[in-house]
Structure formats: C-alpha cells, structure tokens
Amino acid sequence: MTVVHQRFRFELDPNDKSSSKLSSHTGASRFAYNFGLALVKQRLAERAKLRAWATDYGLCADQAEVFARSVEVPWNLYSLRREWNSAKSTIAPWWSENSKEAYSSGLDGLARALDNFSKARSGERAGQSGFPSFKNKSARKFYRFTTGAIKVVDGRHVQLPRIGVLRTKEPATKLRAMLDSGRARILSATISELAGRWFVSFACEVERSDREAKCPSEIIAVDLGVKRLATLSNGEIIENPRVLSRYRRRMATLQRKIARQQSGSRRRAHSKAKLARCHKRVADARRDVLHKLTTELAETYGTVVIEDLAVKNMTKSASGTVESPGTNVAQKSGLNRAILDVAPAEFRRQLTYKMAWHSGCLIVAARCYPSSKTCSSCGEVRAKLSLHERTYTCEHCGLAIDRDLNAAINLAAYGRRELNVAGSGLETVNARRGGQPRLRSQSPVKREDGTGSPDRTVTASSQGQAAK
C-alpha cells in the first residue's frame, strides 16, 4: 500500500446561477491578486524614494538601505492577507458575497510569484522568472478551496463552499467509493475555466495498491521522435497522431480574424472562444495518446529506459540576429513545432508516477549518451549523423537499421548495463525500503525518484506524483 497525492478532475455542468457564482469567485481572486500587486509596487516605490532622499542627505549606502526598509513590503502570504483584511471593507465592500478562499487563492498566487522572482534573482531557482504583472479578464481563471464544505455528494454531484451542490458531466463514482472506504482524503479543490467549460480538480491523499507489471523482469526502451511518436526497443512503432497539424489551418484563420476585429467587441470575444476550443481539442487529444502509451508501458514492463532530452536547446529559434541572420528559419520553426507537439516533458512526467505506482523502475539515460550515433550491433560510434539520415548504416560492420529503432536498442542495452552495475557495491537501505543491506553501484544510476521495485538497486533523483 502506497500513499500518494493524486488529482481527480471532473467537468462541471452548472446552471446560469451557479455559473455566475463561479465567475464571481474567479473575479474576486483576480481582484485580490491585483490589489496585492499594486500595494507591493507602491511600497517598493516608497522605499526607492526614501533611499534616494537618504543618499542625497549624505548617508552611506547601508544606512540608506536601513532607512528605506522602514517601509514594510508585503512579500509573503501572511503579510498580504493582513493587508487585505485591513483594507477589504473600504476597497471591496462586496467582499462578503464570495468565499474568503477566493481572495486567499489570489493572494497565494501572488506570494508564489514574488517568491519565484526573488529566488530566480538570487540564483536559488533555475531559469528566469520576471516580476509579476497585473491580470486582466482574459487571464486564466482559477481559484482554490482548502477549507469549508468540500464533498463528493454522490456519483454525479459535488459540493463546494458558498457555491453549493453542482452536477458533474462525468461520473465521480470511483472517487466517492474511495472516500467511503477511507482510502482517500480530499485536501483541496481547484475550480478552473477552460474554453468556456468549468472544471473541478480534487487534490487527494490516496492509498494505492496497484498490481506489479505483467513482465517485471523485462526491460523496454523508448525513443521519442517527430515522424513517429515513439519507437520501442522490441520493434513496435507508435505512430504520431500529429494533433496540432489537424487544427493548424483552422487556428491560423481564427487568429487572422481576431487580429482584424475590434478589441473588446462581442464578435472578437466569440472568435477567441472558438480559438480556445481548438486549442483545448489539441491538448485533450495529445494528452489522451500519451496517457494510453504510458499506462501500457507501466502496466507491462518492469523497467523502462528513456532519454534525458534537452527540449529547450532542441527548440531554439534559428532566426539569429540582425547582424547575423539565421538560415532555414521556416524549416527550423516547423521542426520546433513538431517537437513540442510530441510533448516530451509530459511523457516523462506521466511515466514517472505510473512506474512508481506499479513498482517499476524508470531509468533516464544521460544527455551525453550517443544513442543515435552508436551501432547497436558492434558498438561503433559515428562522429556525425545528420537529421535527414533516417537509416543508420554502420561503416564498421555494415549494419543497416532504422535510426529510431537503433537508438531504442542502444537505450535498452544502456538500461541493462546500469542495472548490472547497480549490484557491485554495498549499500544500507533507507527507511522507505527497510533496514536490510543491499548492493549498489559505485556510480549511481540516474533514476526518477519513487520508481523501482524493492529488489532493484538504483538511486533516486527526482519525484513526480501527479496523476491523470
């Protein structure tokens, strides 16, 4: 029995009155977010004025900074809530019409954005994170309930604070049964609007007892591609549905139409709603294909090997600069679009938690591993291999094989080597696996955390516990 955090999302079927309440709560969350951001900017401007005034009067930089910090800037959720509670009766006399959780959700989002901005500037957080900006009515609509009457009433109805009982378009029987048996506990509920539809997502603490894979001792490797979605090391090919290409012309037509229409008009809003529905169809179709593939892999094989792809580097623009413009910009743009349509990060995320559910092992090959350039027969590594060469031909042994299949076979061999190496050292098992000693490799295998059956000895790197 494993305790995990899992989300259950259901589409709602609200009437006009309930839809108005849901929209009112999203507006309240956005209002609180914008209020907090305006207050933060105002206090930062006051600090800057005091700092400049102190510097003009001859104070040193440290003294000017101490003087400027006499103005408190609400930067975390606690201070933002305190400022909101002291000002809400004046700036929002209608605040009692909505749940307090809506305002708290907006302030929590602002606090997280400010924290990410601070960590990105200090180097504690990888990547770039700019200063938060104000939200308008076209921003993504969502808010979260963490307290109050959050229930799954029956197989077709859910209850939310201040909104009441809402009907769901999808049956919630499975979650209701888990709640009744005590195998699940609701932690929060998130309401969101997407392409004109309302959804509720329950974050739950669930006790899972999934069966192990059908073939726990077998190793399968997956090579993601563009022409084909995936090529497995056993020769099986998963065709790429190319969901984006089906709606690309339709999207381009709607985008041109929106660009010609007057901003703020009803016809423009109608066209934007059509475009949002197209994007939702693409996202749903892509997610469905990935879920079916990752579920089959996790339920069938005990070990899955994939590559650690640098998607950000693979999808860099080729436009270049004004001084040195790039070449084949349109072709590279199409390649980038095709790579992102495969969604490699989503594939890895789903496979991570599903392998953990079935006590499987997910091995991620290092980025420097030349799976495509290595001959799967003799091990000879080619110096260069262009993208247009779809058949790998070995000059050493004469092997001619499909490029993607060759890479998948090499990844499977990589996984076997790592699992064998993982039995050459002595390790004391951590508390999650018990107290018996176990063999371990001197150079640990990169593996997604939470994956791996008790009889496998590979170390962990990161964990994902999201769910469909």
Catalytic residues: 223, 307, 404
What is the distance between the alpha carbons of residues 261 and 388, in angstroms, rounded to a whole number? 42
78: Cβ contacts below 8 Å, ≥ 6 apart: none
What is the distance between the alpha carbons of residues 25 and 96, in angstroms, rounded to a whole number? 11
How many other CB atoms are there within 10 angstroms of residue 68's CB atom? 19
The three state secondary structure string of the chain is CEEEEEEEEEEECCCHHHHHHHHHHHHHHHHHHHHHHHHHHHHHHHHHHHHHHHHHCCCCHHHHHHHHCCCCCCCCHHHHHHHHHHHHHHHCCCHHHCCHHHHHHHHHHHHHHHHHHHHHHHCCCCCCCCCCCCCCCCCCEEEEECCCCCEEEECCEEEECCCEEEEECCCCHHHHHHHHHCCEEEEEEEEEEECCEEEEEEEEEEEECCCCCCEEEEEEEEEECCCEEEEECCCCEEECCCHHHHHHHHHHHHHHHHHHCCCCCHHHHHHHHHHHHHHHHHHHHHHHHHHHHHHHHHHHEEEEEEECCCHHHHCCCCCECCCCECCCHHHHHHHHHHHHHHCHHHHHHHHHHHHHHCCCEEEEECCCCCCCCECCCCCCECCCCCCCCCEEECCCCCCEEEHHHHHHHHHHHHHHHHHHHCCCCEEECCCCCCCCEEECCCCCCCEEECCCCCCCCCCCCEECCCCC
Burial class of residue 155 (count of CB atoms within 10 Å of its CB; 0-12, 13-18, 19+): middle
Sign for the CA dihedral angle at 194, 199, 203, 208 comes to negative
Token pair 């065709």 in the structure block, residue: 239
What is the distance between the alpha carbons of residues 354 and 312, in angstroms, rounded to a whole number? 25
Sign for the CA dihedral angle at 206, 209, 214, 220 comes to positive
Of the CA atoms within 13 Å of residue 371, those in its CB half-sphere come to: 29
